[in-house]
Homo-oligomer: A and B are copies of this chain.
């Protein structure tokens, strides 16, 4: 009997989403677990198995499956490993493909979570048919996938396209996961928005803001977005600052691969024009003449989880 399904797994800094996908790219069933609920990777795999095994049974058992595709931070396509991922509890080098193969009996292929999202985007989303684009995921962290001439850039060691760690402010804010100072992820992520908010609340004590009454736990990027929508000036400043830094970084990215489009994904993009308007402005201001008004920024029209699950599953077809 010929295998008719693939499993796509997207490991994010907060949630791990997974689903069963058919050959046409339809997600038949999906679910999620907390990525860092367990201290060990073995615990993670057991959490995953508790939900994934019933799904596999529901679709006829492993003989109906071609394999598992996984997108994960710092995943190495060539080695099937996750290496020194800043936002995960598992430190060092994790032989994830091997562990999943042992647990589920299915061949596993891996790539960077953002690369997986870019593949999903290219096959099913806004950039369908586009040969040169960069996708940026603005979530707990900042991920990226670079597509050149229709192919994901993997690089010599499989770790290409880690644009979240580009330094945008020399000697800037410390990024705890990597020890780098002033990286894009320290600013243009959900965590970055929260940190910027706390900094601004401290730096401008005279400026009134609803956010001053929020507890530290309540100060999430979503909360800041809601306050900004309601006209809170400081919350608006936070998004202006974040977008400016993001736009400057995009101008740099364009110098590399001269993409046609930059596609933005992830929770932070829910802020819409609050984020996009300063992003576009800063990007254009920092572009070389030959690129001015030529590169589009688009929000993904795929559900982020769907894009990543689809892209991951596409690794094993």
Residues on A lying within 8 angstroms of B by beta carbon are 74, 76, 83-84, 131-132, 146, 148-149, 151, 153-163, 165-170, 178, 180, 248, 251-253, 255-260, 286, 288-291, 294
Q: Please, how many angstroms separate the alpha-carbon atoms of A210 and B109 in the complex? A: 61
* Copies of this chain: 2
Q: Which of A84, A149, A286 is the most central at the interface, judged by chain B CB atoms within 10 Å of its CB?
A: A286
Q: What is the chain B residue whose CB lies nearest that of A81? A: B290
Selected from B84, B159, B252, B286, the residue in CB contact (under 8 A) with A258 is B159
**Cα(A129)–Cα(B9), bound, Å:** 36
Chain B's closest residue to A146 (CB) is: B256
Measured between beta carbons, the chain B residues less than 8 angstroms from A165 are: 255, 288
Extra A-B contacts (10), CB below 8 Å, given A148-B155, A153-B258, A155-B258: A146-B257, A148-B148, A149-B151, A153-B257, A155-B257, A158-B258, A159-B258, A159-B290, A166-B255, A256-B257
Kindly list chain B residues whose C-beta atoms are within 8 Å of the C-beta of A291.
157, 159
Q: How far is the CA of A131 from the CA of B154 in the complex (A)?
A: 12
- A162 to B154 alpha-carbon distance, docked (Å): 20
User: A245 — nearest CB in chain B belongs to which residue?
Assistant: B170
Q: Is A252's CB under 8 angstroms from B166's CB?
A: yes
A85 to B269, CA, bound (A): 35
CB distance from A310 to the nearest CB of B (A): 24
Expressed in whole angstroms, the minimum distance between the Cβ of A134 and any Cβ of chain B is 10
Interface CB pairs A-B, < 8 A, 9: A84-B288, A148-B148, A160-B255, A160-B256, A162-B255, A163-B255, A166-B255, A167-B286, A180-B288
Provide the bound-state CA to CA distance between A256 and B253, in Å.
Answer: 8
Query: Chain B residues with Cβ under 8 A from A166's Cβ?
Result: 252, 255
- The answer to whether A256 and B161 touch (CB under 8 A), given A170-B248, A251-B167, is yes
Residue in B closest to A261 when the chains form the complex, CB atoms: B156
Chain B contacts for A259, CB-based, 8 A: 155-156
Instruction: List, in ascending order, chain B residues with CB within 8 A of A168's CB.
Output: 170
Are A83 and B289 in contact, CB atoms less than 8 angstroms apart?
Answer: yes
Contact A252 B252 (CB under 8 A): yes
Q: How far is the CB of A275 from chain B (nearest CB, A)?
A: 19
A258 close to B290 (CB less than 8 A): no
Interface centre among A132, A163, A290, A291 (most CB of B within 10 A): A290
A163 to B151, CA, bound (A): 21
Given A148-B148, A156-B132, are A84 and B162 also a contact pair (CB < 8 Å)?
A: no
